[in-house]
Structure 1
Amino acid sequence: MNILVTGGAGFIGSHLCDLLLLQGHSITVVDNLLLGRKENISHLLNRDDFSFMKEDLLNLPVLKHIFENGRFDMVYHLAANSDIQKGSKDPGVDYDLTFNTTFNVLQCMKEYDVKKLFFASTSAIYGETCDRLTENYGPLRPVSNYGAGKLASEAFISAFSSAYHIQTWIARFPNVVGERFTHGVIYDFIHKLQANPEILTVLGNGEQIKPYLYVKDLVEGIQFICEKACERFNVYNLGSDSRTKVKEIAAMIIEEMGLDARIEYTGGDRGWVGDVPEFKYDLSKINELGWCAKHDSNASVRLAIQKALGK
């Protein structure tokens, strides 16, 4: 297929481009490089089946021009603000970069008759709960602006899918880790320890516990859903059955860096406004479709740390 990948120079998007090209598709990436990095796709730039455009999805006339010329068969929409802390400080960040980017893509898909969409969603739409999260869990009460922006996006995608006959696949990501990441707990801890190898300050009490998924497992899961799920509107949780505590991540990083650092905690059950201290997915739906992650949560974290340290 001829595919548009928004946010394709980002952490997850660049890995997805690698897989799509391996499968024989032609790719156009649109990325404003606010969070994405051109070096993530530098190995692809000379290929005839790959093109990159440094453009902003909020510029609707430019985006329409890209759709008019691109004649895309499918859109993989990954562009969003992925820094939850930044979005909590300024609500306009997620309103623009998470929701309005989605709305502009949907408008262009309608106008230029593109009938297939993959959307990268998140566990943050579920809000704060100790319940095991199924795809039909509700009511949905996100506690971060990022989660709210993704949930609003899902709502408009549902409406566009129904009204304009767009086949849609939505995957709700857990915490994703691996090479090319630009933020997150592993990234932060490594940089803190590089600045001060004696002490690692951890936000919260370290008991925060979530499932972590290795990025290459994630993109394989995305493609599995898009190839195997055949409904008009498809929604799946992606993740692993196990979870990892923040204090376990801190200990793994100290070990992998060969340090004897002391860990100090700031206290409280969360790290920042909008942080969800814990969640757990029910993966029955994706497992019944035939997919499960190759790495469990701890193995994903360990592998991501090693990749980040160049091991």
Structure 2
Amino acid sequence: MTLSNRRVLVTGGAGFIGSHLTERLLTDGADVTVVDDLSNGALDRVPEGATFVEADLTNPDALERHLDDIDLVAHLAASKHVDTDRPHAQFDENTRMTRTVLEAMAEADVTEIAYTSSSTVYGDAPRPTPEDYAPLEPISAYGASKLADEGLLSARAHSHDLTVWNFRFANVVGSRLRGAVIPDFIEKLRENPETLTILGDGRQEKSYLHVEDCLDAICHTIEHADGAMNTYNLGTRTTTSVDRIASIVAEELDVDPAREYTGGERGWTGDVPKMRLSIEKLSALGWEPTLSSDEAVRQATRELLTELR
């Protein structure tokens, strides 16, 4: 199934990954409608050529009439803060948004959805973690909400005429990224190049995937996987520590700061300190990342240094 000339609705399309996906779809010849409440995104990120609808997906009527003539929904909208002081509200918001999407799709007879899940569904799991690892025991409300959403999608896929592409992401980086370690280090070092405060012990080590590789993997999977519930990890075969990210950002800024650590193996409540996903299933489908984890971090750093002025 090719995405060219398709009519796609992207929830969260004014956000980091969503805006990049919208650009890619438009470039590939798709007709794109973006639905976003702008709580995490920005209107100026929505590319020219896309139709924009401002709507809150926790409202059951948010998608009324907007799914007419849509072929595929890409559902990226979510409350994304892993360390939150309102975990139950976050869980409720995310599952309500997915329920709104699924009910509106059923009403409009839309039968294809791409869903952006997360590596957080695995919790503290052995590495590299394959898609069939069990039991899934998330350690954050965010991860729990993503796992619950996967359950809703799976139930609909196996009991109704619905095709789901379910993507469990590693840490995706690139231009427009906010609220993450790379832009945080850039802002800190521009303010004070002498000292850098690092959450945790700096030895947290995860897989970082550049957003362009992420988009390639999404499109490739949609085009080549045709089961009812298609679950794929998206990541790299390598990892990067927080200390290594600090070194890359410092090198690109040409500074040499002293490092201070807040301590502990986790950077925040709900943080998974070690994460690397198995991408063997994705590889068997014919896709490999073009950048290693370190290369993705460096490329994203350079992009953000230009963007964050």
- Could you say which residue in structure 1 is the equivalent of 2:65? 65
Q: Which amino acid aligns with 1:296?
A: S
- Could you say which residue in structure 2 is the equivalent of 1:242? 238
Matches within 5 A, 1:9-88: 9-41=14-46, 44-45=47-48, 47=49, 50-67=50-67, 70-85=68-83, 88=84
Q: Which amino acid aligns with 2:75?
A: H
Q: CA deviation at 1:15?
A: 0.7
Q: CA deviation at 1:54?
A: 1.2
Whole-Å Cα distance in 2 between the matches of residues 13 and 137 of structure 1? 28
- Could you say which residue in structure 1 is the equivalent of 2:218? 222
Matches within 5 A, 1:1-311: 1-41=6-46, 44-45=47-48, 47=49, 50-67=50-67, 70-85=68-83, 88-310=84-306
The answer as to whether partners of 1:35 and 1:182 remain within 8 angstroms in 2 is no
Q: Which amino acid aligns with 2:54?
A: K
The answer as to whether partners of 1:81 and 1:93 remain within 8 angstroms in 2 is no
Q: CA deviation at 1:93?
A: 4.3
Whole-Å Cα distance in 1 between the matches of residues 10 and 92 of structure 2? 18
Whole-Å Cα distance in 1 between the matches of residues 294 and 147 of structure 2? 28
The answer as to whether partners of 1:178 and 1:215 remain within 8 angstroms in 2 is yes
Whole-Å Cα distance in 2 between the matches of residues 23 and 226 of structure 1? 14
Question: Residues 175-215 of structure 1: CA distance to partner in whole angstroms, max 9, x if unpaired?
Answer: 01000112111011111122222111001110000000000
Q: CA deviation at 1:37?
A: 1.1
SS, match of residue 65 in structure 1? coil
Question: Residues 28-77 of structure 1: CA distance to partner in whole angstroms, max 9, x if unpaired?
Answer: 00001101111212xx33x2xx201111111222322322xx32111000
Whole-Å Cα distance in 1 between the matches of residues 179 and 284 of structure 2? 32
Q: CA deviation at 1:99?
A: 1.6
The answer as to whether partners of 2:127 and 2:278 remain within 8 angstroms in 1 is no
Q: Which amino acid aligns with 2:145?
A: G
Deviates more, 1:97-106 or 1:166-175: 97-106
For structure 1, the residue ranges without an aligned partner over 5 or more in a row are: none
Whole-Å Cα distance in 2 between the matches of residues 98 and 193 of structure 1? 34
Q: Which amino acid aligns with 2:12?
A: G
Deviates more, 1:9-18 or 1:93-102: 93-102
For structure 2, the residue ranges without an aligned partner over 5 or more in a row are: 1-5
The 1:182/1:97 distance shift into structure 2, 3 A limit, reads farther
Question: Residues 75-103 of structure 1: CA distance to partner in whole angstroms, max 9, x if unpaired?
Answer: 00000122212xx3111442244221111
The 1:16/1:57 distance shift into structure 2, 3 A limit, reads same
Aligned residues: 302
SS, match of residue 64 in structure 2? helix
Whole-Å Cα distance in 2 between the matches of residues 142 and 222 of structure 1? 23
- Could you say which residue in structure 1 is the equivalent of 2:3? none
Deviates more, 1:70-79 or 1:290-299: 70-79
User: TM-score, length-normalised on structure 2?
Assistant: 0.95
Moved over 4 A (4+): none
Whole-Å Cα distance in 2 between the matches of residues 305 and 94 of structure 1? 29
User: TM-score, length-normalised on structure 1?
Assistant: 0.94
Question: Residues 97-137 of structure 1: CA distance to partner in whole angstroms, max 9, x if unpaired?
Answer: 42211111011111111000100011000011234211110
Q: Which amino acid aligns with 1:9?
A: A
Whole-Å Cα distance in 2 between the matches of residues 166 and 28 of structure 1? 20
The answer as to whether partners of 1:98 and 1:149 remain within 8 angstroms in 2 is yes
Whole-Å Cα distance in 2 between the matches of residues 106 and 19 of structure 1? 24
Q: CA deviation at 1:2?
A: 1.0
